[in-house]
Amino acid sequence: MIWICMVAMKSLAQQPQQTAAEIIQDIFEQYSAESETDMDYESFFNDLSGLITMPINLNSASRGELEKMPFLSDIQIENILHYRYQFGQLHSLYELQLIDGLDMTDIRRMLPFVSLSHVAGTIEPLYRNEMLRYGKNELLLRTDQTVETKKGYLKTFDEQGNRVSDYAGSPLYSFLKYNYHFKDRIRAGLSMEKDAGEQFWGSTHRGYDAYSFHFQATNLGAIKTIVVGDYRASFGQGLVINTGYGGSKSSYVLQVVARNNGLKDFSSTDEYNYLRGLGTTINLGKLTLSTFYSNKMLDGDTTNLTLTSIYKTGLHRTTNEYAKRNTLNQQLLGANATWLLNAAQIGFTVLHTTLSKDYMPAVEPYSLFYFKGNTQTTAGANYRMRLHIFNLFGETAITNNKGLATLNGCTFAPTSAVSLVALWRYYSPQYDTFFANAFSENTRINNETGLYLGAEVQAFRRWKLSTYMDSYRFPWLKYGVNAPSSGRDYLLQADYAPNRNTQMNCRIKYEVKEKNMAENQLSTTYPYSRASVRYQVSYSRNGFDFKTVVSMSNADSVFQGSKFGYAAYQNLSYSFAKIPLSIDLRYLFFDAPNYDNRFYFYENDVLYAFAIPVVSGIGTRYYLNLKYELNKAICLWFKIAQTVYSDGREGIGSGSELLQGNRKTDVRLLVRYAF
């Protein structure tokens, strides 16, 4: 074993060193590749950045702590725990290569977030003087703006001769954020944000449009966690409540198990997907009890004194948008009890939500079973257990209107080179809750049944094959599909690392769905299919990082026939050795004649920000990222990106967002002061 560890040490030492930010970006890109994502990247980045400051101790970490690394599958976490149980504490990080299911890519991703130390017997008390002296502070200021003028900002004259525009404010986006943390025990922060088009100071509004405060303390005796202000809550598989990020379809084919993060502070600028109030988690031996309360204002369309829709964007630029601001009060009270047994974990969650107005969505055939009224109670039971080589998990939930949802799955590894997962889900049309966020084809967790099968195989040295199949059905109508329908998704990805400086992968994806044949036809649909191929190669040497991506797609339907599109980009990144400057360049060209051929490409961005622009039509896109450290305390980020269309269009966007011409330029600046 010593000889094997020495070989592993030499192999790992030869691996190219990525910065923590690059590793986080790579992980997120695997989650979001080739699709839109609702994942809150800011929270995602904050969570992993927190692990860099206070790494997970592999010799004492629980399953819940290991689950904070979202790139690890349930099987890999189980194998780490089993290795520690069988052989005791790890003496070197290079022992990770001896654990089944972990390859060099997995280990390299883990390194910034883990450490090894002896298990402490007691938790150190908190002292105010140490918190003031050794606490870490961070102040952030960011501004964004589109260079070209959109229609909503153009000045016109009303009947009285006054100059007016659709948007009340300037096109400048801005946020100011303060963060504080002390070890992994105390976290606090304050965020203020103004979106582009919102008025900062004037007759409509004064000050920032959105404010957010959060505080979290952990390991206070029997109190495991206490959160005050804005926070997240996630329990079970997310059928009752999950305001964080959970399992979903991605190139991490085994990562379908929602992570039970419990209660956690919310430090993002998202203006909808959070709770506001107070929550606590208490350890009582093998029992963990969480209770939480939230009281916040929401935006809603209350035309004719009836709440017909909840407005989730957080934008208040126009008179109509501002009229929806804070028109609805939402309160919720929830609790979770989790028992940890020898080889199992069982939990129960209950949530009661109250609205200040009756919610009556527009009457449409597809919305027949949507929630209506002003109160809702949801309860669910979840489990996780190990039976020999099988890891079983699931959750079943029910609402007060007898809507039922259940999700059950199994992961297992018949050999050290093969890992498998199977997941079955059933969400009845009547199951429609505010905070459910579980594995699904849709963002709305209802009206769906499906079976997902995934496999990861490391059959050859330096090779890894990942694949999944997902077959689903919608027993009732859904938006854009005026009949019961079905669909299938397939993915196959091959990863290959020929040497320590080069990595490549090829991904093939195929999906078949149904769409409406024509508007206002109740029951006629047609099949629609899309196939895509994506090849990526990355090369690192002497401070340079090169990435080349080529992607092709073919969309086929009975009305438009077969449409083919392609896109490719080249990335170049370099960190200077003698000056504190890093640059990141990309040039992308695309030819996607139909919107169904559209492409999504993750882009590097300034700190705590991300971009996954969708491109269709014919054109090019390029950007430049700069990072410069003035000193140990002050760091600057700058990004400029431009999209130029060459397909003859004379405008980009629509409505108030329309800008004249064939190009769109965005500029972004962020300043961080750490002290």
Q: Report residue 2's pLDDT band, with 50, 70 and 90 as the boundaries.
A: very low
Average pLDDT over residues 59-77: 85
Phi, psi of 163 (to 5 degrees): -80, 125
**pLDDT for the residue 5:** 46
Return the higher-pLDDT residue of 62 and 328. Answer: 328
Percent of the chain at pLDDT > 90 equals: 58
Q: What is the pTM of this model?
A: 0.90
Q: Which residue has the higher pLDDT, 142 or 613?
A: 142
Structure tokens at 153: 């900002």
Give yes or no for residue 530 having a pLDDT over 50: yes
CA distance 145 to 337: 46
How confident is residue 160, by pLDDT bands cut at 50, 70 and 90?
low
- Give the residues across from 181 on adjacent strands: 136, 187
* Cα separation of the two ends of the chain: 44
pLDDT > 80? residue 506: yes
Overall size of the chain counted in residues: 675
Task: Give whole-number Cα distances, 154 to 143, 157, 654, in Å.
Answer: 21, 10, 14
* Higher per-residue pLDDT: 36 or 231: 231
pLDDT of residue 369: 92
Phi/psi region, residue 160 (left: phi>0; alpha: psi -120 to 50; beta: rest), is alpha
How far does Cα 105 stand from its chain's mean position? 21
Is pLDDT at 526 greater than 60 in this prediction? yes
8 A C-beta contact, residue 222 and residue 282? yes
Residue 5 one-letter amino acid: C
Q: At what angle do helices 41-53 and 20-32 cross, to 10 degrees?
A: 150
User: Comparing 61-75, 355-369, 427-441, 583-597, which segment has the lowest mean pLDDT?
Assistant: 61-75
**Mean per-residue pLDDT over the chain, rounded:** 88
**What pLDDT, on a 0 to 100 scale, did the predictor assign at position 9?**
44
What pLDDT band is residue 516 in, cutting at 50, 70 and 90?
confident
The tens digit of pLDDT for each residue in 174-201 reads 999 999 999 888 999 999 999 999 999 9
Distance CA(148)–CA(140), nearest Å, equals 26
Q: Which of 346, 367, 425, 436 is nearest to 399 (CA)?
A: 436
Distance CA(527)–CA(516), nearest Å, equals 9
Q: In the 3-class helix/strand/coil scheme, how is 477-521 assigned residue by residue?
A: CECCECCCEEEEEEEEEEEEEEECCEEEEEEEEEEEEEEECCCCC
- Report the pLDDT value the prediction gives residue 383, as an integer from 0 to 100: 95
pLDDT band at 39 (very low <50, low <70, confident <90, very high): low
Cα–Cα–Cα angle for 561, 563, 565, nearest 5°?
175
Mean pLDDT throughout 659-663?
Answer: 94
Question: d(Cα 480, Cα 115) in Å, to the nearest integer?
Answer: 49
CA distance 584 to 575: 9
Q: Contact, 629 vs 580, CB < 8 A? A: yes
Rounded CA separation 373/639 (Å): 46
CA pseudo-torsion sign 110, 113, 117, 123: negative
* The pLDDT value given to residue 424: 97
